[in-house]
Structures are given as structure tokens and as C-alpha cells.
A and B are shown apart, each in its own frame.
Chain A
Amino acid sequence: MVRKKVPDWLNSSLWSSSQSSPPSSAMANPFEPPPRAPSPAVVSPSEPSPPSVQDPPPTQRIEAPPSKDHANAFPSAHDVSRQAQLLAELSRKVVDMSELRSLACQGIPDAAGIRATVWKLLLGYLPPDRGLWSSELAKKRSQYKQFKEDILMNPSEITRKMYNSTNCDTDDANCERALLSRSEITQGEHPLSLGKTSVWNQFFQDTEIIDQIDRDVKRTHPDMHFFSGDSQFAKSNQDALKNVLIIFAKLNPGVRYVQGMNEILAPLFYVLKNDPDEENAAFAEADAFFCFVELLSGFRDNFVQQLDNSVVGIRATITRLSQLLREHDEELWRHLEVTSKVNPQFYAFRWITLLLTQEFNFADSLHIWDTLLSDPDGPQETLLRVCCAMLVLVRKRLLAGDFTSNLKLLQNYPTTNISHLLYVANKFRVQSV
């Protein structure tokens, strides 16, 4: 399957990485090959507590490292060997992407920040050539810094800048004070100006979207200390999410901010922020921004209202899920959509737009994302197969159910064995001849 074409507005030269910097593989690379990583110093920040404790506060339960199977807190031999294989792959001079994909597809171990690096590679944020990593990261991070300065500045700062540049050539020292007493802002840039081009007019329009982002960021994973609560840590993480979403909305006037984007950004930021490499963790906001852009390039159309009725919009995507189900389980499809009249929009809209982040617990979502990001068919194709597998896994209950019970089941999907779910989904792959 061919990856969907990236739309024009995401192709803005602002962030397309021109592979200009010459490969300097001889240079010392600040990103040490991960084989060093599994030293005691690099246990992931949330100290792996035995998840067997029965009654932890909800936050801890979720933030504890995901255990593959309910009973065992320790990684299985299989996990250990996959971790070793992944680390070996990441330490190559040029990462073999197809090899990496096939390893990551089975789930990425949580230790040693592997997931952070692998996701960056899978999303195309890091190039396969390790020699390019440091220059690429430096470039992107400074670009993001510039976005922040240009976009997050509030109008009084912009007008002050204008004022400074026009009036303060000679008298720098008095600028600030002059502004405090009575600043001579040009008529067009007065807050009460009605001019359409006024920075303030733009500001007031933006306020609505910023309020919405603010409301939603505050409601992101309310059960996790990382995202929620009064701690300084949670607050700074919320600020990071907010910045990324505002900058994205401003740079993409065709998409702006749509409710639910916070849910897609959250896992990215969480994974990057928990990278044991301190420098990477410190730049998690910038890196998450670009990863978010890369990820959305495959899903963006689902968020655009103008495309709802087009062949690439959310309705068409949901129809493809319905067709996939019909292809693989006609009986279930018939019962669900014809007999019990459950319009797939009623459950699949959220499944698809949020990439399943609200259907499973956080750890399970990460596991699903490992597969979504690494499957060579691309995230959306893979997502549709996983959604189809979710339906098939509860087929008995669905076949016995009516409209009410089926919708209830699909809007509150039961806890399930994710490895099995992904295994079933994989069987729906279009058999290539």
C-alpha cells in the first residue's frame, strides 16, 4: 500500500527537512549508541514498581511500566532478546528501517528509552543515518524555538517590538518605562482598533482556539500525574502540550485545532519526555511537535470538516473500516449494521480520530502505537485492521446483542490482550500476490 500523499499545507517549507547537512559520520556523535543504555543509570523515570500491587492510586497503576502479561512484572525472555535486537539495530551506523520495523511491530520494550528513539525513526523525524542525527536535531530544535518566539508572543509584545523598532533607536534605556506610562502605538495596532489586519483582531480570533486548547489540555489523562494535578511537573508538561498545539494550529490554518488532537500528542510527548537521555528529555517539546506533524500527515484529513464528505475524509475512512469488516466477517457486518442498525460512525469516529487512545489504558495504547507506527502499510491502514480485529474479537457478544447493548459494548470496549488483538489484525492484511 502506498503511503498517503502528504498534503500541501503540511509541506510548508517551515519544517521540511532539507537533507542539506553533509554526513559527518567521522564526527563524535553525542547520541551514544544505545548498547550502553541498559546500565542502572538509565531506568526509565517512573521507577518500575511491581505492578502486582493490588490497590495503587489510579495514576500509579497507569504510569507503571506496562507489563505484557497480567501476572509477570519482569520482561519475558522474548522481550529481553527483542530489546537486545532493537538496541543492536539502533547502534548501527545506518539503521536498517525494514529490520527496525519488523522488530518494533511486535512491541517495543519500555526500558532504556528505546521507544523514544524508535518512534522518532519510524516517524521519519530522525534519518536512518546516525551520523546525521545531531545536526538534524539541532536544526529542528532551533527551528521550533523560532516558532515559539514568533507565534506565542502576545500582541503587546509584538506592538512593543514595533514600537521599539520605530521609536527607540536612540533611547533604548527608556523604552520599557515609556511603554509603561504611555506608549504611542500606531492607530491600526491599538487593541480597540477594528481594523481586520490588526494584530489584536488576530489575537482575539486566536483566543477562542487557545481557550479550547487550554480546556482540553487540562482534561488530558486526568488520571495520570504526568499530565494532571497541581505539581510543577504536571503544569510544565501541560504547558508543553499547549505550546505544541497552539503552534500547530497557527501554522496549519486549514486544520487548526480539533478536539482530540491533545490525545494524539499526549503519548508522543510522554514517551519523548521519559527518554533517559537528559538532553532528549529536555527537548521533548520540540521533538514532539515535529513527530506530531509527521504523525498527523497521515491522519490529518480525518480532522478536516471540509473533507468530511470527500474520499479522504473521516466518513470515507469509516466506510473503509465497514468494508474491511464485511470482507472478513460478512455475518458480523450484517448483524451489526443491518440487523442491529449500529452506524459505525457511532463508535469508529472516536476509535479512528484518536488512534485508539481512549479505548484502552495508556500502556496498552503505546503497545498498539508501536505497531501502528512500524507497519510498512502506514498507520491508517494498520489502524483500520486493528479496529476490524476489535470487532471480530467480540463477535459473539455482538451477534447476540441489539442496538443498545452493541453500542454500549463498542463505546466501552473491554480490556483485551493486546498482543492477541494485533495478531488478529495482522491476519486481515491484504494478501499480496
Chain B
Amino acid sequence: MAVADAFDEQCDYLFKAVLIGDSGVGKSNLISRFAIDEFRFDSKPTIGVEFAYRNIKVRDKLIKAQIWDTAGQERFRAITSSYYRGALGAMLVYDITKRATFVNVSKWLHELREFGGEDMVVVLVGNKSDLGPSREVETEEGKGFAETEGLCFMETSALQNMNVDEAFLEMITKIHDIISQKSLETKMNGTALSVPGGKEIHIADEVTATKQVNCCS
């Protein structure tokens, strides 16, 4: 379903999303599983920020998902706050075998709400579901928390490639629907968002300029 390496201008939408959560919960492996179908037992800690992308078809639209991966340690949060800018979605990850990483979910959520946009789609992800015997956080707990906070929820295993695509797809589809809804409302109000070629582009502000150069010049 992924189109290998389409140019930005061939996509209908460009979405930015971020992955957050404590150090060692498997953020980088979730992203590499999603973007290049790879899992590493020996992945290095992420320092600062890294990013990956994948093109996906959602409801007949080609979407370029640009996913940002951030470092887990608290020290990096001040720096990473700027990474939330323009993000339409966030995946908040904890490790089902480490309760502390679940406890910290509320801290991360607090930060998301402080720095992220209003309509940001948030998916709570309990990763490492393949390690059932060492489970410290029950599925129901994760689900319950997500319901209370109005988040989507899923348990995944980047190792066994369980629910990884599903989690990302859910996030991307939700973003798409919100954007379409908004776009519709805008049109009804008379101000069209369309750019030449009839495409509608919704993107992170870092990318906006690039797109304008590509599409409008």
C-alpha cells in the first residue's frame, strides 16, 4: 500500500505526526516498522529528533505521513517542544511491561496539550504486547485511561508487527477526516483552500513554504 518514494507534490496531503513516550518503550522501532518494515533489537537511543515518512492511500487520497521520533528522556522535552509545531497527530507510547512508563503517560499528555494543536489526534499505544508474561499494565487499564481522556487506544508489538500499521492508519485516517471536515466548512464559508491542480494541502508549517515553492511557482 505504500508508494515507495513519491515526491511531495504528488501527494494530496502531507501530515506531520509525532511519537512521544518514555525512553526505551520502543518508539523508534514502531516508526521503523511502519516506515520501512524493519525491527532492530539493538537500536540506539534517539537523541534530539529523527524522522521518517511513508505514503499511504486513505479514502482514495494519497497521503504522505511524516512521522517525528523524539528522545524519551525528560531533559530533551524543552528542546522537543518545538517539534510539536504543525503536528496533526501524536502517538503516545508506553511499555506494557513497565508500569512507570504508563504512569508517565499523563505527564506526556499534559505536555501535548500544552504545545500541540487543538485538533491533534492522539493515539495511546501500549507497545511490546509480545511480552505478555511480563505484563505490568492490563489492556483494560490502558483502554480505560484512553476513554477518560478521549484518546484512541491500541496495543502493539513492533517486534511481531502486530497492530503497528493499524495504529498509524487509525491516526492518519482520523486526521484525514478532521481535515476534510474542516476543509468543507471553510468552503461553505466561501474561502477555498484549494491550490492549483485542485489539490488540498494540509501540512506542517515547516513544509508549507516548500510546498508553495513547489506548487505555486
| A346 in contact with B48 (CB, 8 Å) | yes
CB proximity of A343 to chain B, nearest CB, Å: 7
Interface string of B81-96 (1 = CB under 8 A from A): 0110000000000000
| Residue B78, interface by CB 8 Å | yes
Is B51 interfacial (CB 8 A cutoff)?
Answer: yes
Q: Chain A residues near B75 (CB, 8 Å)?
A: 258-259, 303, 305
Q: Is A402 an interface residue (CB 8 A)?
A: yes
CB <8 Å contact, A341 and B48: no
Task: List the A side residues contacting B45 at CB < 8 Å.
Answer: 215-216, 219, 259-260
Check B47–A353 contact: CB distance below 8 A: yes
Is A411's beta carbon under 8 Å from chain B? yes
Closest to B209 in A: A341
User: Known contacts A219-B42, A345-B79: does B23 contact A259 (CB below 8 Å)?
Assistant: yes
Q: Are B24 and A350 in contact (CB under 8 A)?
A: no
Partner pick for A349 among B49, B210, B213, CB 8 A cutoff:
B49
B23 near A308: Cβ-Cβ < 8 Å:
no
Q: Say yes or no: is A228 at the interface (Cβ < 8 Å to chain B).
A: yes
B8 contacts the other chain (CB 8 A): yes
The residues of A that contact B53 with a CB separation of less than 8 Å are 404
Complex contact A259–B82 (CB within 8 A): no
- CA of A136 to CA of B79, assembled, Å: 40
Q: A341-B206, A346-B83, A349-B48 are in contact. List 17 more A-B contacts (CB 8 A).
A: A219-B43, A219-B44, A222-B42, A223-B42, A341-B208, A341-B210, A345-B48, A345-B82, A349-B79, A350-B48, A358-B44, A358-B47, A402-B213, A402-B214, A404-B66, A407-B51, A411-B51
Contact A339 B213 (CB under 8 A): yes
Bound Cα distance A259, B73 (Å): 7
A340 close to B (CB within 8 Å): yes
Contact A259 B207 (CB under 8 A): no
- The residue on B at minimum CB distance from A402 is B210
A residues 211-258 near B (Cβ < 8 Å) are 212, 215-216, 219-220, 222-223, 228, 258
Q: How far is A223 from B41 in the complex, measured between Cα atoms in Å? A: 11
- B177 part of interface (Cβ distance < 8 Å): no
Is A354 part of the binding interface, using a Cβ–Cβ cutoff of 8 Å?
Answer: yes
Which residues of B15-69 are within 8 A (CB) of A?
A: 23-24, 41-45, 47-51, 53, 66
Contacting pair B207 A403 (CB below 8 A): yes
Interface check A314, CB cutoff 8 A: yes
From residue A266, how far is it (CB to closest CB) to chain B in Å?
11
Chain B residues touching A, range: 20 to 34
* Residues of A close to B72: CB separation below 8 A: 259
A259 touches B42 (CB 8 A): no
Q: Kindly provide the distance from the CB of B117 to the nearest chain A CB, expressed in whole angstroms.
A: 18
Pair A349/B43 contact, Cβ less than 8 Å: no
- B22 CB to closest chain A CB (Å) equals 10
Contacts of B79 in A (CB 8 A): 308, 314-315, 345, 349
Residue B121 at the chain A interface, CB threshold 8 Å: no
CB of A339 within 8 A of CB of B8, answer: no
Number of interface residues of A (CB under 8 A): 35
User: What string of 1s and 0s marks CB contacts (under 8 Å) between A337-357 and chain B?
Assistant: 001111101100110011000
Q: B71 contacts the other chain (Cβ, under 8 Å)?
A: yes
Residues of B within 8 A of A403 (CB): 206-207, 209-210
Cα A403 to Cα B214 in complex, Å, equals: 11
Cβ of A220 to closest chain B Cβ, rounded Å: 8
Q: A305 — which chain B residues lie within 8 A by C-beta?
A: 74-75, 78
Among candidates B8, B24, B49, residue contacting A404 with C-beta atoms closer than 8 Å: B8
Collect the chain A residues with CB atoms within 8 Å of residue B24's CB. 215
Which chain B positions have C-beta within 8 A of A358?
44, 47
- A404:B78 contact, CB within 8 angstroms: no
Closest CB-CB distance, A259 to chain B, in whole Å?
5
> Please, which residue of chain B has its CB at the minimum distance from the CB of A407?
B51
Between-chain CB contacts (< 8 Å), 17 pairs: A219-B44, A223-B42, A259-B73, A259-B75, A303-B75, A305-B74, A341-B208, A341-B210, A343-B206, A345-B79, A346-B49, A350-B48, A353-B48, A403-B206, A404-B207, A408-B51, A411-B51
Cβ of A55 to closest chain B Cβ, rounded Å:
20
In whole Å, how far is A182's beta carbon from the nearest beta carbon of chain B? 32
> Bound state CA distance, A350 and B46, in angstroms?
9
Chain A hits for B209, CB < 8 A: 339-341, 403
Bound: A37/B23 CA distance, A: 45
Q: How far, in Å, is B56 (CB) from chain A's closest CB? A: 15
Are B78 and A308 in contact, CB atoms less than 8 angstroms apart? yes
**Contact of B49 with A402 in the complex, beta carbons under 8 Å:** no
Residues of chain A within 8 A (CB-CB) of B42 are: 219, 222-223, 228
Contacts of B66 in A (CB 8 A): 404
Q: Which 8 A-B pairs have the closest CB atoms?
A: A222-B42, A349-B48, A402-B210, A350-B48, A403-B210, A259-B73, A341-B206, A350-B47
Across the interface, which residues of B come within 8 angstroms of A342, CB to CB? 206
Q: Which residues of A contact B74 (CB under 8 A)?
A: 305
Q: How far is the CB of B74 from chain A (nearest CB, A)?
A: 8
Question: How many Å lie between the Cα of A212 and that of B101 in the bound state?
Answer: 12
